[in-house]
Amino acid sequence: MNLERLLRKNIISLSAYSSARDEFKEVNEAYVFMDANENPNNNGYNRYPDPQQTAVKQKLAELRDLEINQILLGNGSDEVLDLIFRAFCEPNNDNIITLPPTYGMYSVLANLNAVEIREVLLSTEFQPKVNSILEQQDQRSKLLFLCTPNNPTANSFDNDLIESLLRSFNGIVVIDEAYIDFSINESWLSRLNEFPNLIVTQTFSKAYGLAGIRLGICYASKEIIAVLNKIKPPYNINQLTQNVALEKLERITNVKEEVNSIINERQTLISQLETIPLFVKIYPSDANFLLVQVDDANLRYRQLISKGIVVRNRTNQPLCHNCLRLTIGTPEENQKLITFLNQLS
Ligand X SMILES: *Cc1c(COP(=O)(O)O)cnc(C)c1O
Q: Which residues bind ligand X (CB under 6 A)?
A: 76-78, 103, 147, 151, 176, 178, 203, 205-206, 211, 216
Handedness of CA 176, 179, 185, 190 (dihedral sign): positive
**Smaller CB distance to ligand X: residue 20 or 259?**
259
Q: Rounded to the nearest whole angstrom, what is the least distance from the CB of residue 44 to ligand X in the complex? A: 26
Cβ-proximal residue to ligand X, closest one: 76
Q: Rounded to the nearest whole angstrom, what is the least distance from the CB of residue 152 to ligand X in the complex? A: 8
**Smaller CB distance to ligand X: residue 1 or 244?**
244
Question: Alpha-carbon distance 145 to 173, whole Å?
Answer: 6
The number of angstroms, rounded, from the C-alpha of 190 to the middle of its chain's C-alpha atoms is 17
Task: Find all residues with CB under 8 Å of 333, minimum gap 6, and list them.
Answer: none
Backbone φ/ψ region at 270: left (φ over 0), alpha (ψ -120 to 50), beta: alpha
**Closest by Cα among 51, 44, 43 to 20:** 51
**Closest by Cα among 195, 177, 162, 201 to 82:** 201
Q: Rounded to the nearest whole angstrom, what is the least distance from the CB of residue 104 to ligand X in the complex? A: 9
**Smaller CB distance to ligand X: residue 53 or 77?**
77
**Smaller CB distance to ligand X: residue 77 or 241?**
77
**Smaller CB distance to ligand X: residue 171 or 216?**
216
Q: Rounded to the nearest whole angstrom, what is the least distance from the CB of residue 78 to ligand X in the complex? A: 4
Q: Rounded to the nearest whole angstrom, what is the least distance from the CB of residue 72 to ligand X in the complex? A: 13
Q: Rounded to the nearest whole angstrom, what is the least distance from the CB of residue 343 to ligand X in the complex? A: 31
Q: Rounded to the nearest whole angstrom, what is the least distance from the CB of residue 193 to ligand X in the complex? A: 23
**Smaller CB distance to ligand X: residue 83 or 341?**
83
**Smaller CB distance to ligand X: residue 218 or 294?**
218
Question: Alpha-carbon distance 267 to 106, whole Å?
Answer: 30
Contact between 291 and 154 under an 8 Å Cβ cutoff? The reply is yes
**Smaller CB distance to ligand X: residue 148 or 197?**
148
Q: Which amino acid is at 148?
A: T
Question: Alpha-carbon distance 98 to 144, whole Å?
Answer: 6
If one counts every other C-beta atom within 10 angstroms of the C-beta of residue 12, the result is 12
Q: What 3-state class would DSSP assign to 160?
A: helix
Q: Rounded to the nearest whole angstrom, what is the least distance from the CB of residue 238 to ligand X in the complex? A: 15
Contact between 59 and 71 under an 8 Å Cβ cutoff? The reply is no
Contact between 243 and 53 under an 8 Å Cβ cutoff? The reply is no
Contact between 224 and 40 under an 8 Å Cβ cutoff? The reply is no
